[in-house]
Amino acid sequence: MLRKLTAEWIGTFSLLATVVGSGIMAEGLAGGNVAIALLGNTIPTGAILVVLIMVFGPISGAHLNPAVTLAFTIRREISARDSVLYVVTQIFGGISGVLVAHIMFDNPLIDPSTTVRTGIGQWVGEFVATFGLVGTILGCLKFRTEAIPYAVGLYITAAYWFTSSTSFANPAVTIARGFSDTFAGIQPVDVAAFVGVQLFAACLAAFFFKWLLEE
């Protein structure tokens, strides 16, 4: 279990360092062009997900996401106790990744976001993003296990652009990004609604894809 938790911590740390660090870099280089900044944030995020799942998947399953852990808990593939340990580790790993990104780019260490992300459109975007992510994982798990790293990376790359919320799809990511007043941030007051929608979507996806895939 220690090895699994360490993998989840390092993996989520690396994911957030990439999301926030690439967001800062992209915004600084884009010259005010938000589309270019988003593209510069999207590509590293999708790429690092492929790498992290390939490296840490054999150790912990590379959940790196409380919504994914919840889905596997519903499927009884991880115990409730272990899932709690996973989620706590993911959250603290994500926050640590944000802090290190801030240090790398000379940002204030603790810098709560002021970016407003709220409303029906954003919440529906998060539902769609999380439901699709869990479905991608479960579908590949059923038919093409070896494709999971690539499928997840490609799905998130696409979802950055087709969802109104730019696809957080991850409660640990959402909480951690609340600490960063950068391109990737979300103001802390908006975090709870995002997390609630993500967990709800993960629950529905776990049951729906169990039925769809006839498991």
Q: Which domains does the chain have, with CATH numbers?
A: 2-212 (1.20.1080.10)
CB atoms within 10 A of CB 173: 31
pLDDT of amino acid 24: 97
Q: Which helix (H) or strand (E) holds 42?
A: helix 34-60
pLDDT of amino acid 214: 83
pLDDT tens, N- to C-terminus, the chain (215 residues)? 999 999 999 999 999 999 999 999 999 999 999 999 999 999 999 999 999 999 999 999 999 999 999 999 999 999 999 999 999 999 999 999 999 999 999 999 999 999 999 999 999 999 999 999 999 999 999 999 999 999 999 999 999 999 999 999 999 999 999 999 999 999 999 999 999 999 999 999 999 999 999 86
Under DSSP, the state recorded for 93 is H
pLDDT of amino acid 204: 98
pLDDT of amino acid 215: 63
Contacts of residues 77-85 at CB distance under 8 Å and 24 or more positions apart, as own/partner, are 82/1, 82/4, 85/1, 85/5
